[in-house]
């Protein structure tokens, strides 16, 4: 039976800053948009907003840990994790039985979905009656149905990354799905559920019924791309570390398909795009957002290490530090948005 310490190692807690980063960044964009008409706490909505933020973080962490356990289970039963370099593999090491790890994954998914239901309920409480999208959704079911479908898509994407008969992670599509779900969906989705703050502020400020167009969608999308680049860079570094073993096991990740050299350039390119994204985000919102470049700066030594042919255990620290750099970027960009509202 695996010890508590082994379970914690198997959960790969080092990946959690990366999963929380899109929530931090998305919330900052939503509040920046909302507060253009005045601070959202004036009408007493601060408590609800904080609860909504906490629930969204639980959703993100639940999906991340669940995905880690699901990956551990699926790779373990396939034998892909035998003699793997890096963090503890519960199944591959024999510390835990496959059914136990599978159960842990689905428990985490259930927690994430449970928190997600509360997010939907709380968001819909905000949305009605001030929020209008179109005649198709004004009946009240369009928004919750859409959010639930997105949640189900997240569960399926997490499980079938390495699970099922034809896991897309074994076909070199892992990076694409990580960019979509841990970047765009996580960030823009956070902005979306915080959007009722915008709705109430717009209604109070200009006396009209707001629509989804009142959200700063270009800023939301740009921030989603930034977070997606970081999240993808983490997976790229992970697959670069595992490239030799994956090739032997027949796990055709993107790194296996394009080779060692191209994978290193891909990591560098993703960090570079993230930096350009911060500049564009600042142009769209406030130049204080350039504070986020400090997080990009933290990534420069990592790029040097990756391009310097780091291998195996050397790349473990790159994984951890990339997640930290992502969180710092999200946090400082968020602080920049706050300063932009105060002084912009």
Per-residue pLDDT at 192: 85
pLDDT at 325 over 80: yes
The more confident residue out of 261 and 210 is: 261
- Taken in order 37, 38, 43, 45, the sign of the CA dihedral is positive
- With cut-offs at 50, 70 and 90, classify the pLDDT of residue 121: confident
Task: Note the pLDDT tens digit of each residue in 180-238.
Answer: 999 999 999 998 887 665 555 545 444 455 556 667 889 999 999 999 999 999 999 99
Per-residue pLDDT at 239: 93
- With cut-offs at 50, 70 and 90, classify the pLDDT of residue 93: confident
Three-state SS annotation for the chain: CCCHHHHHHHCCHHHHHHHHHHHHHHHHHHHHHHHHHCCHHHHCCHHHHHHHHHHHHHHHHHHHHHHHHHHHHHHHHHCCCCCCCCCCCHHHHCCCCHHHHHHHHHHHHHHHHHHHHHHHHHHHHHHCCCCECCCCCCCCCHHHHHHHHHHHHHHHHHHCCCCCCCCHHHHCCHHHHHHHHHHHHHHHHHHHHHHHHHHHHHHHHHCCCCEHHHCCHHHHHHHHHHHHHHHHHHHHHHHHHCHHHHHHHCCCCHHHHHCHHHHHHHHHHHHHHHHHHHHHHHHHCCHHHHHHHHHHHHHHHHHHHHHCCCCCCHHHHHHHHHHHHHHHHHHHHHHHHHHHHHHC
Task: Note the pLDDT tens digit of each residue in 38-85.
Answer: 555 555 566 777 888 899 999 999 999 999 999 989 888 887 766 666
As a whole number of angstroms, the distance between CA 63 and CA 58 comes to 8
Determine which of 65-69, 94-98, 277-281 has the lowest per-residue pLDDT on average: 94-98
pLDDT at 270 over 80: yes
Determine which of 17-26, 83-92, 169-178 has the lowest per-residue pLDDT on average: 83-92
- Structural domain that includes position 281: 4-343
Per-residue pLDDT at 101: 93
Per-residue pLDDT at 96: 85
Residues 6+ apart with CB under 8 A from 166: none
Split into its structural domains, the chain has a count of 1
Please provide the average confidence, as pLDDT, over all residues in the chain.
85
Per-residue pLDDT at 91: 87
Per-residue pLDDT at 5: 87
- Residue 14: CB atoms within 10 A of its CB come to 18
pLDDT at 295 over 80: yes
- With cut-offs at 50, 70 and 90, classify the pLDDT of residue 133: very low
To the nearest whole percent, how much of the chain has pLDDT over 70? 83
> Where do we find the tokens 């709380």?
122
Per-residue pLDDT at 130: 47
């Amino acid at each position: 039976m695996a010890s508590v310490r082994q379970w914690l190692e198997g959960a790969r807690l080092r990946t959690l800053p990366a999963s929380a980063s899109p929530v931090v960044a998305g919330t900052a964009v939503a509040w920046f948009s909302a507060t253009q008409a005045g601070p959202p706490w004036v009408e007493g909505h601060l408590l609800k907003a904080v609860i909504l933020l906490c629930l969204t973080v639980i959703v993100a962490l639940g999906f991340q840990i669940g995905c880690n356990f699901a990956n551990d289970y699926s790779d373990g039963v396939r034998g892909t994790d035998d003699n793997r370099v890096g963090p503890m593999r519960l199944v591959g090491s024999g510390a835990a039985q496959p059914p136990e790890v599978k159960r842990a994954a689905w428990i985490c998914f259930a927690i994430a979905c449970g928190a997600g239901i509360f997010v939907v309920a709380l968001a819909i409480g905000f949305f009605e009656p001030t929020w209008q999208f179109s005649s198709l959704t004004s009946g009240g079911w369009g928004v919750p149905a859409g959010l639930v479908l997105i949640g189900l898509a997240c569960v399926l994407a997490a499980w079938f990354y390495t699970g099922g008969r034809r896991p897309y992670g074994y076909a070199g599509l892992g990076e694409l799905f990580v960019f979509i779900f841990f970047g765009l969906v996580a960030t823009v989705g956070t902005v979306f559920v915080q959007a009722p703050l915008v709705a109430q502020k717009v209604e109070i400020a200009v006396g009209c019924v707001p629509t989804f167009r009142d959200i700063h969608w270009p800023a939301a999308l740009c921030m989603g791309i930034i977070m997606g680049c970081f999240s993808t860079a983490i997976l790229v570094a992970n697959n670069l570390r595992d490239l030799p073993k994956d090739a032997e096991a027949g796990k055709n990740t993107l790194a296996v398909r394009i080779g060692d050299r191209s994978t290193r350039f891909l990591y560098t390119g993703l960090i570079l795009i993230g930096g350009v994204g911060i500049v564009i985000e600042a142009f769209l919102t406030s130049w204080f957002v350039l504070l986020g470049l400090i997080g990009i700066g933290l990534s420069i030594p990592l790029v040097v290490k990756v391009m310097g042919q780091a291998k195996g255990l050397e790349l473990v620290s790159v994984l951890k530090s990339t997640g930290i750099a992502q969180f710092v970027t999200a946090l400082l960009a968020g602080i920049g948005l706050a300063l932009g509202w105060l002084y912009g």
